Structure 1
Amino acid sequence: MHHTPSGGAGSSGTAAAGGELVSIGTVLSLLRDEFPEVTISKIRFLESEGLVEPQRTPSGYRKFSTEDVERLAGVLRMQRDHYLPLKVIREHLDAVARGEDVQLPAPASPPKEFLDGVQDPSGEHPTAARIGRDELLAATEVDESELADWEAYGLLAPASDGGYGIEAVAVAKLVAELGRFGLEARHLRAVKAAAEREAGLIEQVVAPLKRHRNPQTRAHAEATARELATLSVRLHAALVQAALHVRLP
């Protein structure tokens, strides 16, 4: 099953040169230069999904080859640069293993199917395309009962026309990914509540600007809200990491 995925692994996979087998901790160090968000849990999850098959010692410890590291880097790059779900990545790797000449789509920002370049009637702002329920289920690789559970706990909701915008799609994909680690919708209520409190705080900061008559000032309010949201997410991530460091030194 092992081979280098199309697109190459770049520098991430070459640090284990020499053919020696390395531990999962070493793999994490090798990958983090390019993928700072990767974790040991993520590597284990990719293994459980059949995307990499490290060797095992008699004691059960994982041992990764250079090819394994290159493969992991390729998988992570396909997720990051091409926004491909694991099912599609697996099919791509299987096709390459069969010797088929397959090409990945060009690297992109948000998935093309989730964005719409058509402008709204005012001609001022692009509007995000909506996708249907079936498309959302396919994109997140979950079933109807799981999606209904997310909605019951308020993690996402369809728009008035029954479709889902890009924000809802992003939330759904993250909830699905967390679900594969055993976190259910009920576990994420606190995260939802914290996000709503942060959004309320940002709204308080920009409210005076949004009420201004000057269009440029209102536009500045939107830009300020986006910047504050980015900083808030970074702070949240840093606080979680700090808390984990205290609890899991």
Structure 2
Amino acid sequence: MPDAGYLTIGKVVKKLQAQYPDLSISKVRYLEDEGLLNPSRTPSGYRLYSQHDVHRLETILYLQKNRFLPLSVIKEQLDGKTGEGGSALDAISSPTLLPQDEEAAEKLHPIDRMPELLGVPVSFVRQLSEAGVIPLKKSPHGRDLVDGRDFPLIRACDELRHFGIGPKNLRQYVTAANRESAMFEQALVVFARKGGGVEMELTDENRKQFGMAFQQMLVLTDQVRDTLIRRQISKTFSQMEQ
């Protein structure tokens, strides 16, 4: 099979790491194991990624980072909505995928501009703040400000309202995040010890390794969480059918 225009897994990771620093070869392989990627193979078994494969991977990473979507949902959207002749990102694009997010993330925005910027009511953003999902900051003049980095999270919470999941329901995730962060911190301490000691110098390389380890832990714990929830939901509906 000709390899013109195809990239090895290492080159794919190197190409995308500038935009997604936590990307690693192991994560790309994990996405393949989960059925989200299906690269070609050489006769000797080496993976070769086409431009379509790379674009699909970029889409997956974007949706994870900016839309906070679980892999199962991303797979359904990519497999179910990718039309012939169109890219996966084009197929699932919507008003919630705004190209100015990167620019907005660098700024604080008055809360009264949320209907204009995000299409959500000011009252909804305040409810998210009261539930602890997002913090609000104060301007020198006392105005409530929203961090642009929270825009994707606000949109995700807004989409959940269509399923009857509101800000009050999300308090449990705030509590869980606070609890789980302690677990991740301890795990990173163990990781540091294995790497040569907790007090090792925080070089750029060490920070990169920590970031990759943390990202992998998030991916794996998401898989555990998704599986446990799916199992319980399946059990509940199975009992209802009896």
The reply on whether 1:234 has 2:217 as its aligned counterpart is: no
Is the CA contact (8 Å cut-off) linking 2:131 and 2:167 kept in structure 1? yes
Residue 198 of structure 1 aligns to which amino acid in structure 2? E
CA distance in 1, matches of 2:100, 2:90: 16
In the TM superposition, residue 224 of structure 1 has moved relative to its aligned partner by 1.1
Residue ranges of structure 2 left out of the alignment (5+ in a row): 1-71, 140-144, 193-197
CA distance in 2, matches of 1:182, 1:33: 18
* C-alpha spacing 1:189/1:141, structure 2 compared with 1 (3 Å): same
Aligned to 2:100, what secondary structure does the other structure show? helix
Q: 2:132 corresponds to which residue?
A: 154
Is the CA contact (8 Å cut-off) linking 1:198 and 1:232 kept in structure 2? no
**Deviation sequence 1:210-248 (CA, Å, 0-9, x none):** 752141223211221122112222222222111101111
The reply on whether 1:142 has 2:124 as its aligned counterpart is: no
Residue ranges of structure 1 left out of the alignment (5+ in a row): 1-31, 39-68, 86-109, 117-126
* C-alpha spacing 1:145/1:164, structure 2 compared with 1 (3 Å): same
**Deviation sequence 1:85-142 (CA, Å, 0-9, x none):** 4xxxxxxxxxxxxxxxxxxxxxxxx7421114xxxxxxxxxx9423513454445422
Aligned to 1:205, what secondary structure does the other structure show? helix
Residue 93 of structure 2 aligns to which amino acid in structure 1? H
Within-5 A mapping of 1:1-249 = 36=76, 81-85=92-96, 111-116=98-103, 128-130=105-107, 132=109, 133-158=111-136, 162-166=145-149, 168-207=150-189, 209=192, 211-215=199-203, 216-249=205-238
In the TM superposition, residue 145 of structure 1 has moved relative to its aligned partner by 1.1
Residue 191 of structure 1 aligns to which amino acid in structure 2? Y
Is the CA contact (8 Å cut-off) linking 2:114 and 2:121 kept in structure 1? no
Work out the number of aligned pairs and report it: 152
* C-alpha spacing 1:81/1:36, structure 2 compared with 1 (3 Å): closer
CA distance in 1, matches of 2:186, 2:137: 25
In the TM superposition, residue 156 of structure 1 has moved relative to its aligned partner by 0.9
Give TM-score scaled by structure 1 length: 0.49
How big is the alpha-carbon RMSD for the aligned residues of Structure 1 and Structure 2? 3.9
Residue 227 of structure 1 aligns to which amino acid in structure 2? Q
Is the CA contact (8 Å cut-off) linking 1:159 and 1:165 kept in structure 2? no
Higher strand share: 2
* C-alpha spacing 1:146/1:128, structure 2 compared with 1 (3 Å): closer
In the TM superposition, residue 147 of structure 1 has moved relative to its aligned partner by 1.1
Is the CA contact (8 Å cut-off) linking 2:128 and 2:134 kept in structure 1? yes
Q: Percent identity?
A: 14
* C-alpha spacing 1:34/1:129, structure 2 compared with 1 (3 Å): closer
Residue 216 of structure 2 aligns to which amino acid in structure 1? E
* C-alpha spacing 1:194/1:180, structure 2 compared with 1 (3 Å): same
